[in-house]
Amino acid sequence: MSRRKKFSGAQLKTLRKEAGYTQEELAFRVGISRETVSAIENEKPETMNNIGVEIISKWWSICRQKASQQTRESFFSTVMDYFGFNLS
């Protein structure tokens, strides 16, 4: 069984900050607690192991339009790796 790469809390934090949201604002929009946003961004193992694709998808939809091109490309690459797609 192959192990998928995990999402980077630091990368999600960058995405949120570039979009101009506080942890509390993003949490409200995603439908999770501010504490959960903090735990994700700080890569708390118990939270990172249970983070669902739905949360990542919502986070992305809320933040992507305001993120830099570099951050969007990096995030897209992470998503492709997560699902096992190789673009080379």
* 3-45 per-position pLDDT tens digit: 455 778 999 999 999 999 999 999 999 999 999 999 999 999 9
Instruction: Name the 3-class secondary structure at 53.
Output: helix
pLDDT at 2: 42
Q: Which residues of 16-46 are buried (b: 16+ CB within 10 A; e: fewer)?
A: bbbbebebeebbeebebeeebbbbbbebeee
pLDDT at 60: 94
Q: If you average pLDDT over residues 60-80, what whole number do you get?
A: 91
Calpha distance 28→37 (Å, rounded): 10
pLDDT at 9: 92
pLDDT at 81: 84
Q: Please determine, for residue 67, whether its predicted confidence score (pLDDT) is greater than 80.
A: yes
